[in-house]
Amino acid sequence: MNYALIFAGGVGKRMRNGALPKQFLELHGKPIIIYTLEKFEENPSIDGIIVVCVSGWEDYLQKKIDRFNIKKVKKVLTGGKTAIESQFIALDYVKKDLKQDPEKTYVLLHDGVRPLIDQDTINKNIECVHQHGTAVTVVPAIETIAISGENHSIDELMDRSKCVMARAPQSYLLANIYRAYSKAQEDEDNTFIDSATMMMHYGYELYTVEGTTNNIKVTTPIDFYIFKAILDAESNEQVFGG
- The pTM of the full predicted model, rounded to 2 decimals, is 0.92
132-145 in b/e burial notation, b at 16+ Cβ within 10 A?
Answer: bbbbbbbbeeeeee
Domains of the chain: residue spans and CATH: 2-138+164-240 (3.90.550.10)
**pLDDT at res. 242:** 45
Q: Which residues of the chain have pLDDT under 50?
A: 239-240, 242
Q: How many other CB atoms sit within 10 Å of the CB of residue 205?
A: 9
Q: What percent of the chain has pLDDT over 90?
A: 80
Rounded Cα distance, 108 and 239, in Å: 32
